[in-house]
Amino acid sequence: MLCGRIEIKSHVEPAQVKLGLGSGYAQVSLGLGSSENVYTKINGDCQMQCALCEQKKCSNGKDCSTIKADVEYTGRNLESMKISAHIESRYYMEKTRLEELILYAGGMGYEKLGIAFCIGLEKEAKVIHEILAQDFNVFSVCCKVCGINKDSYGLEKLHNGGFEAVCNPVGQALVLNNEKTELNIILGLCIGHDILFTSHSQAPVTTLAVKDRVLAHNPLGAIYSNYYLKHRFNAKD
């Protein structure tokens, strides 16, 4: 399949092509009896939309991409893949994510771990810090580090009037960079702040918990709820 025109390479015949020119996309139906669609922007860039595929034949070895020849795992990347595969195969459905984190960090030979946490999860951060400190040298930094006033950057405040410290994800990253941590863990940083922290962290980053103040820090709860799907997102369950 090539951008700019439609080329169908399939052993399945016949192939049907439906053009939705109003939307600028071509929908290619390969006549497999159930939906296996590839969307290509006409005269534009190809878009990968695996989430809409109902077949997922890649799990059985099919390559629908154009990047396979460019993928190679070596060195520390290969080591990481081996550790992950080991954890999955040995402890599938047995270990919690926190336990898996400990196994992974130990398997990679990490000694210095960093935790970048939201002040709203300070109790959880303390417990996790103490658990990880049994096996690693742990550095933790709160989102309010440096105590910078939101007024300094003209940021909106949660509460009207008075001092309100800005969340400081770049500062969190700098603190952990200075400590030369080998793996940094995000614990409940705000949307956007997690992105800034990750982009400024010198060490690789993993997220242990995503903040969701409404759903007890379980973002997927929104799509497990028929109410949210229908009334908030206008989506089908």
The pLDDT score that the predictor gives to residue 23 is 44
The pLDDT value given to residue 45: 67
Rounded distance between C-alpha atoms, residue 117 and residue 125, angstroms: 7
DSSP the chain: --TTS-----SSSS-EEEEETTTTEEEEE---SS--EEEEETTS-B---GGG-S--GGGGT---SS-GGG----HHHHHHHHHHHHHHHHHTTTS-HHHHHHHHHHHTT--EEEEEE-GGGHHHHHHHHHHHTTTSEEEEEETTTT--BGGGGT---SSSSS--BPP-HHHHHHHHHHTT-SEEEEESPPTTHHHHHHHH-SS-EEEEE---TTTTT-TTHHHH-HHIIIIIS----
Q: Is the pLDDT of residue 55 over 50?
A: yes
For residue 94, give every residue at least 6 positions away whose Cβ sits within 8 Å of its Cβ, in sequence order, or none.
none
Q: Which residues pair with 67 in a beta bridge?
A: none
Is pLDDT above 80 for 9? no
CATH 3.40.50.2300 given to domain 110-222: yes
pTM over 0.85: no
In the chain, % of residues over pLDDT 90: 71
pLDDT at 168 over 90: yes
C-alpha distances (whole Å) from 105 to each of 78, 89, 200 are 15, 17, 21
Confidence band, pLDDT 50/70/90 cuts, at residue 47: confident
Mean pLDDT, all residues of the chain: 85
Domain boundaries, the chain: 16-70, 110-222
Is the pLDDT reported for residue 32 higher than 90? Answer: no
Q: What is the pLDDT of residue 24?
A: 47
Look at 189 and 234; give whichever has higher pLDDT. 189
Q: Of 98 and 39, which is predicted with more confidence?
A: 98
Encoded amino acid at 174, one letter: L
pLDDT number for residue 12 = 35
- Tell me what pLDDT residue 48 has: 85
Q: How confident is the model at residue 160 (pLDDT cuts 50, 70, 90)?
A: confident
What is residue 96's predicted lDDT score, i.e. its pLDDT? 97
For the stretch 79-138, pLDDT in tens is 999 999 999 999 999 999 999 999 999 999 999 999 999 999 999 999 999 999 999 999
Amino acid identity of residue 207, one-letter, is T
Q: Residue 83: which of 183, 199, 208, 219 has the closest Cα?
A: 183
Q: Report residue 42's pLDDT band, with 50, 70 and 90 as the boundaries.
A: very low
